[in-house]
Structure 1
């Protein structure tokens, strides 16, 4: 998957997760698992200057997956907020 497709898939999947969280629900485990896989691919494709942020983002996504598997809705909501903050920071800092 090329970088443009990867970003598009990430955005679509993250939006599904956000929609659930904004409704106060636990995100769908399949969506979160897919998102975690995509973030791993993002880390692999990351440029050297933002690879550290991509690694942190992937780590947060995997924490979210484990949290969703355990059914911890409040923790999942906090992790989604952290992912959104990390995404915003990265886009502001590294987007050309």
Structure 2
């Protein structure tokens, strides 16, 4: 049950971040920090079959947090796009 709750929360926070970026706003640091924490937790809960993908996603989330802290809009947009691609790939490859 913890996995499903974490996944749901992670997706909800990511959707919020994507909306902020689509509106040409830098996501707020608190939201991105929560997202990075949830991504780390998802990595800890990951099944062996998709552990590497979860680790990559967690790393990208950490990079996103750094970009937001530096107010680097260009890097933030690129990282959100990379996270979206990684999420799509993972969902296509490993259905829960």
Same fold (TM over 0.5): yes
Unaligned runs of 5+ in 1: none
Q: What is the distance in 2 between the residues matched to 1:9 and 1:29?
A: 17
TM-score (norm 1): 0.97
The yes-or-no answer on 1:20 pairing with 2:20 is: yes
- Quote the offset at 1:94 in angstroms: 0.5
Runs of 4+ in 1 over 4 A off after TM superposition: none
Residue 61 of structure 2 corresponds to 61
Shift of 1:74: 1.1
Cα distance in 2 for partners of 1:9, 1:94 equals 18
- TM-score normalized with structure 2 length: 0.97
Q: Deviations over 1:58-94 (max 9, x none)?
A: 0000000000000001110000000000000000000
Distance 1:14 1:76 in 2: 13
| Secondary structure of residue in 2 paired with 1:17 | helix
Aligned to 2:74: 74
Q: CA RMSD in A?
A: 1.0
Structure 2 gap ranges (5+)? none
Counterpart of 2:36 in structure 1 is: 36
